[in-house]
Amino acid sequence: MTPEELRELAEKRRAQLKQPRCRLNVCLAAGCQSCAGDSVFKAIKQQIEARKLDGVQVRGVGCLGLCAEGPLVLVEPSGLLYQRVKPEDAGELLDALEGAPLKRLECPTDVPFFRAQKKIVLENAGVIDPENLEDYLAAKGYEGLIRALTDMTPADVIAEVTTSGLRGRGGGGYPTGLKWSTVAKSKGAKKYVICNGDEGDPGAFMDRAVLESDPHRVIEGMIIAAYAVGAQHGYAYIRAEYPLAVKRMQNAIKQAQKAGLLGDGILGTSFSFNMEVRLGAGAFVCGEETALIASIEGKRGQPRPRPPFPAESGLWGYPTLINNVETFANIPPILRHGGAWYAAIGTEKSKGTKVFALAGRVKNTGLIEVPMGITLREIIFDIGGGIPDGKKFKAVQTGGPSGGCIPEQYLDMPVDYDSLARVGSIMGSGGMIVMDETSCMVDVAKFFMDFCKAESCGKCVPCRAGTDQMHGILTKICNGEATLDDLALLERLCDVVKNTSLCGLGQTAPNPVLSTLKYFRDEYLAHIVDKRCPAGVCKIKAPAEVHA
Amino acid sequence: MTMPIAPPKIEPPSADKRWRLVDNTMRKHGYRPDALIEALHTMQECFGYLDEPGLKFVARSLRLPLSKVFGVATFYHFFTLKPKGRHTCVVCMGTACYIKGAQNILDEIEKTYGVKPGETTRDDALSVLTARCIGSCGLAAAVVVDGNILGKVTPAQTLEHLEKVVKT
């Protein structure tokens, strides 16, 4: 297809979408599907057919954000949002299209949860049908690719991405433009582009939501990246635990191939690129780029020392560009609006927006996208609606097992890569778990260490043996059996594992321990010295029981 | 990447037609060694678990040492070498679910059915598993019973649901 044909198709679809009087968008992302969103969709469809309603349409869409109140239904063009909809509500919902909104199910949208967000990556989530290419085209999809392929040289594209100031959203925050230019400069008979959709972080579902809600956006980002660095083939490495994301991505790739957006001579130019999905198989370490590459090669996902970096020698020894799902999802709007537009959002050193998976002890759990620089307090108390059940905020955990727990005193800190690092945590991929007084911080540290111990690939000793030892000591502390010497040993182990492990998994594994030791040392001491758990989580035996 | 070569004629472990699907996956990848994980995925999808004859079949077809195939199959959590029970219950142990009491759910299941995560009851009725995170953190604590996600559950609700499922 030529750019003109593609634009024509988009125009046609836009006209089509204007035709119905109104449309009900039912969220069919995994969160709402698991609370019977698909039955709601079917019930509404049946009702429309039974009543022979003209000009009323129902459509399955991606994530609408407020997962805690699902299934969600968005009505267009009124913008009304309904929550906790049941299949038997379908009739009433359709009755309400003509008259007053159905108060019983109405979800207020004039609240900070919706107003304080800024959607770039998620602009289409909940608005388009993720299984329909034309819907994506109608939402200006592939416009960024058209601009890149017809108006720009690969160097121009890299310059635009560099201007945007975009940093890798997988966790490290490495400047994307710099990474792309390194791969572009590398010499190799072939080059590869890989999308890291493994998302092994417990407590994170951003990548899943993007893949399920707007898969073409990720494909578009990958094609643009391939053009910029000169790659011919790509892989989207997605967790097998995300069957819906896998299905929608495979479906989108097929559609793109059919439309000539993937394959030989894309959009009538001389540029060729194709891609396929590869399934992850459940290994947190595969988030590490060299381990992920090994996994695509069909091997155990074990990392290898860098350099050489994948940019020079990656998949099968060829130069390889690896970016995370959200990073690629940021590319199309950057190409569409320009790098300067993107750079105007966010803070000086962290540009743009970030998608967070807000969960834990917070009222509005769900998927949010906010500009960088927003404070933790705004995220948790305004957007998140605060702590339920009248409990007190204790800490927020960011960055998963590689991150740390941030206490109350830093709630007014802006959220950006560098501020989070300063208080001993990281942005990570964007999981954000809120904890209240019912959580024991030693128990939380033990939870993460148990995770790292089990996920260590076993290749290097500090990580394999160190995390096991640390988990042992934390268990002793939780059981009320540890001494102050154990605590000293734990701190030494943190230092050794952090500084001598081969890859990011081991290097960051002590972070949850270090940050809880720093901010909640009194809880550790209560377990060790007073033999009690202040939060009442750990089952410490009373001294009498121990002696009996 | 090696060039595609003529498919080796390796006989599947049995006449079961599902082996053809496993072979198809390997053929799609030109019987290259990098098809290993994809082939194991297909095999587990078809049979529910990976057995030794199957692993040998994949190893020969892809010209890989059996030790390597075993190494990969046991490295990744998604793969299982044990058959599952008639019903499965996966308790999500992601951070959000843990904070909301997933450990208590596991403890109660263990108390009632006498099985730890990764085990199956003696009568093959129920396999209990844990997941790192199923990505439904908005529904914490979440449990997946026979593929259906139950959100915001308590230990008591989980047990009640399991009792209904296991009996049928």
Flag if B1 and A316 touch (Cβ within 8 Å).
yes
A-to-B residue pairs, Cβ atoms closer than 8 angstroms: 137
A47 vs A34, higher pLDDT = A47
The three state secondary structure string of A483-543 is CHHHHHHHHHHHHHHHHHCCCHHHHHCCHHHHHHHHHCHHHHHHHHCCCCCCCCCCCCCCH
Do A44 and A25 touch, CB atoms closer than 8 A?
A: no
CA distances from residue A114 to A22, A123, A126, A373, A408 in whole angstroms, order as listed: 22, 13, 13, 17, 24
Q: What is the pLDDT of residues A122-157, one digit of tens each?
A: 999 999 999 999 999 999 999 999 999 999 999 999
Q: Which residue bears the tokens 């925050």?
A: A173
C-beta separation of A323 from A225 below 8 A: yes
Q: String of b and e for A135-144 (b: at least 16 CB within 10 Å)? A: bbbbbbbbbb
B3 pLDDT more than 70: no
Nearby residues of B135 by Cβ (< 8 Å), 6 or more positions away: A30, A199, A204, A205, A208, A241, A242, B94
Give the nearest chain B residue to A384 (CA atoms).
Answer: B138
B75 to A365: CB separation less than 8 angstroms, yes or no = no
% chain A with pLDDT above 70: 99
Its sign, for the CA torsion A222, A225, A231, A232, is: positive
Please check whether residue A387 is in contact with residue A363, taking contact to mean a CB–CB distance below 8 angstroms: yes
Q: Mutate which of B79, B99, B100 to test chain A, going by most A C-beta atoms within 10 A?
A: B99
CB neighbours of residue A348 within 10 Å: 11
Cα B138 to Cα B152: distance, rounded to the nearest angstrom: 9
Measure the CA–CA gap between A116 and A356, rounded to whole angstroms: 13
Please, which residues bridge with residue B131 across strands?
A: B92
* Range 313-372 of A in CB contact (< 8 A) with B: 316, 357, 359-361, 365-367
Using DSSP's 3-state secondary structure scheme, residue B56 falls into helix
- What's the average model confidence in pLDDT over A6-18? 94
B49 touches chain A (CB under 8 A): no
The pLDDT assigned to B132 comes to 86
Residue A199 has pLDDT above 70, yes or no: yes
- A78, A22 contact by CB (below 8 A): yes
CB contact under 8 A, A34 and B78: no
Residue A189 pLDDT exceeds 60 = yes
SS3 (DSSP) at B109? helix
pLDDT in tens, A294-305: 999 999 999 999
**For residue A220, pLDDT beyond 50:** yes
ipTM of the complex model: 0.91
- List the helix and strand counts (H, then E) for chain A: 24, 13
CB A273 within 8 A of CB A257: no
SS3 A352: coil
The phi, psi pair for A68, rounded to 5°, reads: -65, -25
Examine the pLDDT at A169 and tell me if it is beyond 80.
yes
A62-68 average pLDDT score? 90
Q: Which residue of A has its CA nearest to B98?
A: A447
d(CA A132, CA A61): 10
Yes or no, beta carbons of B76 and A301 under 8 Å apart: yes
What is the rounded distance in angstroms from the CA atom of residue A344 to the CA atom of residue A163? 10
Provide long-range contacts, Cβ within 8 A and 24+ apart, for A54-57: A55/A19, A55/A20, A55/A21, A55/A22, A56/A20, A56/A21, A56/A22, A56/A23, A56/A24, A56/A94, A56/A97, A57/A20, A57/A22, A57/A23, A57/A24
- Residues A353-408 have pLDDT tens digits of 999 999 999 999 999 999 999 999 999 999 999 999 999 999 999 999 999 999 99
Per CB-CB distance under 8 Å, the chain A contacts of B136 are 30-31, 34, 67, 205
Q: Which residue has the tokens 């450990």?
A: B103
Q: Which two tokens stand for residue A63?
A: 């994530």
| Among the listed residues A384, A390, A388, the one whose alpha carbon sits nearest the alpha carbon of residue A411 | A384
Rounded-to-integer distance, Cα A411 and Cα B116, Å: 39
Touching A: B residues 2-31, CB under 8 Å:
none
Residue B158 is predicted with a pLDDT of: 96
**Distance (Å, rounded) from C-alpha B23 to C-alpha B12?**
8
- Confidence category of residue A429, pLDDT binned at 50, 70, 90: confident
A173: region left, alpha or beta (phi > 0 left; psi from -120 to 50 alpha)? left
Q: How far is B98 from chain A (nearest CA, A)?
A: 8
Q: Which residues of A touch B140 (CB under 8 A)?
A: 359-360, 365
**Minimum Cα–Cα distance from B103: chain A residue:** A447
With an 8 Å Cβ cutoff, are A31 and B75 in contact?
Answer: no
Task: Round to whole Å and give the CA distance between A8 and A2.
Answer: 10
Confidence (pLDDT) at A164: 98
* pLDDT at position A546 over 70: no
A129 neighbors A59 (Cβ within 8 angstroms): yes
C-alpha span between A21 and A57 (Å, rounded): 8
Chain position carrying tokens 């998994």: A505
Contacts of A201 in chain B (CB under 8 A): 133
Confidence of residue A548 (pLDDT cuts 50, 70, 90): very low
Q: What residues of chain A lie within 8 A of the CB of B100, using their CB?
A: 360-361
Whether A192 and chain B come into contact, CB under 8 Å, resolves to no
Tell me, yes or no, if A244 comes closer than 8 A to chain B by beta carbon: no
Residue A182's pLDDT is 98
State the Cα–Cα distance between residues A146 and A229, nearest whole angstrom. 17
Please name the member of B95, B137, B148 whose beta carbon is closest to the beta carbon of A365: B137
Measured between CA atoms, the residue of chain B closest to residue A65 is: B138
- Say if the Cβ atoms of B41 and A281 lie within 8 Å: yes
A203 within 8 A of B133, measured Cβ to Cβ: yes
Residue A200 forms contact with B (CB below 8 Å) = yes
* pLDDT reported for residue A223: 98
Alpha carbons A48 and A71: distance in angstroms, whole number: 19
Band the pLDDT of B7: cuts 50, 70, 90: low
Judge: A282–B96 Cβ closer than 8 Å, yes or no: no
Q: How far is A453 from chain B (nearest CA, A)?
A: 13
Chain B residues lying within 8 Å of A366, measured CB to CB: 138
- Does B45 have pLDDT greater than 50? yes
- β-pair type (A404-407, B87-92): unpaired
Angstrom distance (rounded) from CA A324 to CA A221: 11
pLDDT given at position B149:
86
Mean pLDDT, chain A, whole residue set: 94
CA distance A463 to A402: 13
Q: Which of B50, B98, B146 to mutate to test the interface with A (most CBs of A within 10 A)?
A: B98
Which pLDDT tens digit goes with each residue over B130-141?
Answer: 988 888 888 899
Angle between helices A325-337 and A215-229 (to 10 degrees): 80
* B16: pLDDT strictly greater than 90: yes
The 3-state DSSP class for residue A459 equals coil
Residue A339 near residue A160 (C-beta atoms within 8 A): yes
List, in order, residues 6 or more apart from B158 with CB less than 8 Å away: B89, B91, B105, B108, B109, B143, B150
Q: Is residue A207's pLDDT more than 60?
A: yes
| Bond preceding residue A305 cis, omega within 30 of 0 | no
Give the gap in angstroms from C-alpha B69 to the nearest C-alpha of chain A: 9
Which position has the higher pLDDT, A63 or B8? A63
CB atoms within 10 A of CB B93: 23
Nearest to A435 among B68, B77, B99 (CB): B99
- Hey, how many other C-beta atoms are within 10 angstroms of the C-beta on A481? 15
Contact of A57 with A21, CB cutoff 8 Å:
no
Tokens of A151: 């108006």
Beta bridge partners of A233: A192, A274
| Encoded tokens for A91 | 């009739």
pLDDT value of residue A29: 87
